[in-house]
Each structure stands twice: as structure tokens, then as C-alpha cells.
Structure 1
């Protein structure tokens, strides 16, 4: 006689356990498999039907754990009699638990119950008692969690990168290390073709959302509390975009005039291109990117804000494939870089970057400058930018270029924030500003 199939056992996990288990998977994907945080988080979201509240919790946990990954690991070691080996998912789950309890201030009972239960969802039932015991011990003995004075451990940076910052920034490095573990503000760029920043701030205020202007960036608004991008009034119609204040300094530096030919050589995702066309819609802009899929994002961005450009999918250094021979009055090289200036927004950068990456990226930056310099018209202006805070990707690249091209002029950037660094200008990350490097190069008439 054939028996009917046995019904599946009911899911007896504690409330909140699935989102903790998902967080452990995301962290393992980044730290063990080298996936970007954005990709790992998107994959986890697609695999789980979380509501808006759990989705927000998942994001908060994974961003927080990766911001403080090294310090949390050190704290785990203080709580354990023997190191945990060959169980990366359980290790990630333990860091999630510690972060919830001691950084997010989640009620202790909720953390212990949900995190312990999550172990079984990771097929690690053996670890439930370990998770329970360790989290309860951290409650009883919080003094064990006080991290050492070493800023690289306290603020969670790999040693090689902390050492590089100390070399480049001297006494300011410790503050930069601390800022790298902080949460960045949500900064908007108001489309000046639609309204002023003050007008948009008043519109937000009427909705109960507060923001403040930045005198140094006239189109910028810093939200007092971050929120969903799609919920911003007028976002879909292009009245406002999300863009860090430091990135908003590129368009004023280019100083584009109506009718000028402009090249945005590494355009994706298109924020700087949109900004300069919002300021000067009659510019003839060519937006170039080697990745066709990323160039599609540029197209979507420009359409949303209501501006037009010529989009070209090509390697900027392969000029024979895309350049029509007519010089450009303005060239923006928003060069590929390590992203060390935006680590507070992308904490996975700290753990995915390697020393060799910086050398390779600096070589690419040199190649872009060398290849695109002949395309600049006499009297034209080129802006070189990176969101890196390493001199190897800023001052050193520009200095090497100027040694090879004595005909090039390098007028002072004289930006309203940051300080001169060689022939360019660097901005330290922190407060309202991401870390950036800018240099202006011009060709004599």
C-alpha cells in the first residue's frame, strides 16, 4: 500500500531568525568568496521574501558588521576559549549577534533567541549552544569587549591599508580610520533646471522631512534622516538625484559653457554627466563607458533628469574606435580607482581590495591621462578625479603626467573644502564629504 507523503515539518525558528541567517550568508559571500556587498545583498534579497522592515534590518546588519568586521572578530576571540575554525557561516552569525547586541542596541533577549535559532537555518545545529553561550557571556562580561588602542583594530581596517593611510596622511590618518567606520549621510543633488536647493528643502519640510544646504555645493542637500530613494518627491521626474557632495564639485571645476564639446570618459553610472548637463544643458556631451550594461544606467539617469548626450560603449583608451577627430573643450576623467574615499558607503572595499589593485589602477589612470590629453583642444580644460584617498591614485599620478608633459598647465583647484596636494586637491572623508582627489589640467592656446 502506498502511503501519502509526509507533510513538511513546520518552521519552528524564532522570529527574526531567517533574516539573521541571511545576513550570515551575505557576510560569508563577501569575506569568503569575494563578492561585492551590493551583489551579495541583492542575491539574498531575491532568495528571501522579506518585508520592508526585515529588508531594512538585513541591510543594517550586513553593512554594520562589514564596517566593524575586524573589531568584531577581535571581540569574538575574547569571548571564546578556543578559536572557531572551518565554520565561516557560524563565525559570520556570531559577529551579527555581537553587532546587534552591542552596536545596534537590539534587546538582548531578541538577539539571543533569534541568532541562536538562526544557527539551525544554516545547517549548523551544533552551533546553537555556542551562539547562545557566547552572546550571554558578552552580556555578563562587557568589559571583555573593549577593543585595543590600535586604530586598525578599533576601527576595523586591514593593516596594509591603515599603514598606507598613515604614510599619506600622517597625524590625520587616525581620524580617517574612524570616519571609515561611520555611516555616511544621504546627500541629494537638486536639479537646478527644476528648482533651487532652498525650494526643494522647503518642499521636504512640508512633508515632515528635514534637510540642510551646503554653502560649498549649491545644489546639495543633506538629509537629516536617510530614506528610500523612490520616496523622494520628484525623483522619478528628475527633480532630484542622490549624489555625494564631493562628487558634486566636478561640474563646477569643468566650468562647461554652452556649445562646448565635452567628454565624460568613464561615465557610468552617470551622476556627474547629469549634473554638468543640468548646469549647462546646451553642452555637446559624449558619455563614454567600456561596459555596455553600465552605460545603460547612464542613459536611464540622463533620461530621468531630462537631458541628452551621445552615449558610446567603448574603451576610452582605444580612441581609434570611437573618436571622430574633433577636439574636446572639456574632458572629465572620473578614473577607475580603489574607492578608498567612499569606504563608509561601501565597507566591503576594505576587505576586497589588495595592494596590487592600487598599483594596477594607478597604471590605468596614467594610461587614461596619456591617451586623452591629445584630444583636448587648445585652451581646453581636463579634470582628473578619483574617489580615492591614496596618493598613489592622485598626487603621484598627476605628478608623473606633468613630468612627461611640460606643456600642460595645472591651475589651482582651490576648492571650498579639503586642501592642496601637489598639483591637485584632496578631500578627507568625514562629515558631509566623501574622500576625493581632483586635479585640473589645461592646454595653452
Structure 2
């Protein structure tokens, strides 16, 4: 199977079977021996998924009838072919011939793939223009998501949609236990790697060009981690003091757990809890690389009576399960896999976890509520409802040079200052 065949296999898992792109890549990329082939396949897969709604609309114009569900691999190949011709530096004849060759496992499809791609080449301009006649294709998002963003952010939703379709920058969090950010910046520069500092985040560096983590000096020794700027803000907002007990709820994959320990090494204890034991193992891997340690426990955040053993904490980070609509640029498959009906159930889950977590917070303590969503119903409206029902809770305003102050909490919209979409609210408990 050639590289395009592997890419089609991956995309069929996402488009046809609802698997995440991350999981599908992890399963199929190891079949390719060469790094350049893996990079090529990854670029194709992210490109097709990122531009799926526009590509799918164009493909529909080129097919006399829709393909059967069992032929999702052929549909994926056709999308791959169109994307190459549209956006990649691949010669037209090579893109067509190699994509046709990848369909040889289904002989009937070879002529179809060849005809569709050659028709696209003949009528590229008209096909591209036709996208403007369809809202989903022109905005490259499902209608329900466009409507949801427009309702929440009538003046900014178009900028959010545009940001969602851009590849994100590679952002680093410097482990200040092993040296300052500026020292690490000097190390990068000495190796010809250009990066920029971030005024409002003293641990963040944004690389001018992304590269593999193995190429980052000191990565394996724990000098630096990959983490978006917005996610890095959590550790500072939590304001952990020496000798305090910290609970990190929904902790996997562990970036924020590590950042808490890097910022306050004299913390008394950190308990990282996640419902998924397999994902919790990633927290352990993250901390091990950084030479940090925390107690880890697999448990349901809605039911701390099963694992908390009566403990309470001075600081709680609740990185609540959410729609992920602030990180679409990193996980473009969210546009395909998330459903409008998911939002209400996520709101309910967030409310239940927040209620359970509140009982674990000591009087005088701080709970930091965080999501990687840009929907108000998961963020400021969730906090408004909680404060209305809890007389022992009060908001601690976040005065910052980033994001936008909301009636409750602070919202970052996707792409603002190169950040993912994120929301934070800081709650204090009456002493």
C-alpha cells in the first residue's frame, strides 16, 4: 500500500467510522518506515480533515451519485486527490496517477478516481467558486456549529471560523526548574531555531517554524514541553502556595499538572485524577520525563466519595470535559465528530463535576474552572448558575493582559494572540 493508500485508510476511520484523527494516525502511521512518508501522510490527513466541508461539497459536484458507506476508503482517496491538486506542492500528473494506483484493491474504482480527478483539473475554478453557493462549504464548518458560534459571538464568529482552519503554532513551556525562559531561548537561537517570547506568559515560547520534539534541545531531559499559551496560564491563575494540597481533576494528559509542579515545587502534594486509567498513564509519562512526581488516581470526578477518602484541598484545578471547540485548529476532526446534541450533555456533566469538586475545596481555598471551549453555555453561563446556587462561593476576578473579561471569568477566542480558545473562572470559598 502506498502512502496515499495509508492516508485513505486513516481518513476512512475518521470519516466513515467516527474515530478520532489522533487515534487513527497512531494506528496506521507505523506502517510507513520513512519519516518523510509519515510526514506526507500526516500533512494530507490534517489537510483533508481541516478543509473537509469544502472538499466534500466539491466532490459531490463531481460524482453522479454518492458512494456507498462501505466505500469510505474510495471517498477518502478522492478527497486526498482533490486536496493535493488544490493545496499541496505535488505535480498534477503525480497526484492523479499515485492516487489512482492507491485504489487498485478495488479495480472498479480506478477509472472513477481517474475521471473525477481529471474533471477537477479541467474545471477547478468553477468548482472552487461553487463553494460560495453553500454555507457549510463556504464557511467550512457544519451549520450547527456556525449557528452556535454566531449566537455566542455575533461580531467575532467569522474570525473564529477562520482561525479554526489555520494550522496552530508550536508553542513551548519552559521548565523553569531547569533554567529560565530566556536561557532556553538563547539555547534555541544557538542551534538556529528561532522563537518569540510572550509578554503575558513568562514560561512560553512560540517557534517561528514547527519541528519534531526530538529536535528540541533538552526535551528528553525535561527542559521544555509542548503546550499552548492559553493552557499554560492555568498554573499561574491557580496561585499555588508552598505546603498546599492541590487536586487536578480531569488531569490527563498531564501538561497542567506538570506546570503546577514546575511553578511551585514546594507544594505539599498534588493529586491528579482522571476517569481513564489509560490516559492517566500519559500523566505519569509526562511527569517522569520532567523528573516530577504526583499521586495519580483513576476515578470518576462526579463521585469523589469513591476515591477522595475525606481529603480536602486548598487548590483545585477543574479542567472540565467540554466540546473542545476552542482547539479545532489542533484537532480539526472535532468539526466532523462533535454533534450539536453533545453540548447539553456536556453542560450537565460539567455542572455535576463542579458541584462534586466544590465539596473537596477547603474554606479559604481557590477552585480554577477551565475549558478549551468558546461556547458561553459551557463557560460563563455555567459559572453564573453555580454562583447563583452557592452562597459560600464568590468569583475572584482575573485581571490580565490576555483574553476578554466576561460577566464571570475570562474568555480567550481562538487565534487571539496565537492562543487556542480557552476559558477560565476563579472561584473562592468563604472561610
Q: Distance in 2 between matches of 1:322 and 1:364?
A: 18
Q: Distance in 1 between matches of 2:342 and 2:315?
A: 29
Query: C-alpha offsets along residues 121-149 of structure 1, whole Å, 9 cap, x if unaligned?
Result: xx222222222232223223221223216
Question: Are 1:433 and 2:419 counterparts?
Answer: yes
Q: Distance in 2 between matches of 1:154 and 1:90?
A: 24
Q: Distance in 2 between matches of 1:162 and 1:281?
A: 43
- Pick from 347, 359, 363: which aligns with 1:374? 359
Query: C-alpha offsets along residues 298-344 of structure 1, whole Å, 9 cap, x if unaligned?
Result: 11211211222222222223222222434311100001111111111
Aligned residues: 426
- Pick from 376, 379, 383: which aligns with 1:394? 379
Map 1:124-139 → 2, pairs under 5 A:
124-139=106-121
State the match for 2:190 in structure 1: 206
Q: Distance in 1 between matches of 2:373 and 2:65?
A: 39
Q: For residue 53 of structure 1, give the secondary structure of its aligned residue in structure 2.
A: helix
State the match for 2:56 in structure 1: 73
Map 1:4-403 → 2, pairs under 5 A:
18-46=2-30, 48-86=31-69, 87-120=71-104, 123-144=105-126, 145-146=128-129, 147-148=131-132, 152-283=136-267, 284-403=269-388
Kindly indicate whether the alpha-carbon contact (under 8 Å) linking 2:3 and 2:32 is maintained by their aligned counterparts in 1: no
Q: For residue 205 of structure 1, give the secondary structure of its aligned residue in structure 2.
A: helix
Q: For residue 211 of structure 2, give the secondary structure of its aligned residue in structure 1.
A: coil
Q: For residue 229 of structure 2, give the secondary structure of its aligned residue in structure 1.
A: coil
Q: For residue 246 of structure 2, give the secondary structure of its aligned residue in structure 1.
A: strand
Q: Distance in 2 between matches of 1:366 and 1:354?
A: 19
Q: For residue 273 of structure 1, give the secondary structure of its aligned residue in structure 2.
A: helix
Output the aligned Cα RMSD: 1.6
Q: Distance in 1 between matches of 2:279 and 2:60?
A: 42
User: Aligned-pair distance for 1:246?
Assistant: 0.4
Give the structure-2-normalised TM-score. Answer: 0.95
Give the structure-1-normalised TM-score. Answer: 0.92
Query: C-alpha offsets along residues 215-253 of structure 1, whole Å, 9 cap, x if unaligned?
Result: 121101111111111221111111000100000010111
User: Aligned-pair distance for 1:275?
Assistant: 0.3
Kindly indicate whether the alpha-carbon contact (under 8 Å) linking 2:364 and 2:430 is maintained by their aligned counterparts in 1: yes
| Greater Cα radius of gyration, structure 1 or 2 | 1
Query: C-alpha offsets along residues 326-376 of structure 1, whole Å, 9 cap, x if unaligned?
Result: 431110000111111111111111111112221111111101111111221
Q: Distance in 2 between matches of 1:355 and 1:82?
A: 28
Give runs of ≥4 in structure 1 deviating > 6 Å. none
Unaligned runs of 5+ in 1: 1-16
Unaligned runs of 5+ in 2: none
Kindly indicate whether the alpha-carbon contact (under 8 Å) linking 2:10 and 2:24 is maintained by their aligned counterparts in 1: yes
User: Aligned-pair distance for 1:109?
Assistant: 1.8
Query: C-alpha offsets along residues 391-415 of structure 1, whole Å, 9 cap, x if unaligned?
Result: 1211121111111112211021223
Kindly indicate whether the alpha-carbon contact (under 8 Å) linking 1:112 and 1:135 is maintained by their aligned counterparts in 2: yes
Q: For residue 299 of structure 1, give the secondary structure of its aligned residue in structure 2.
A: helix
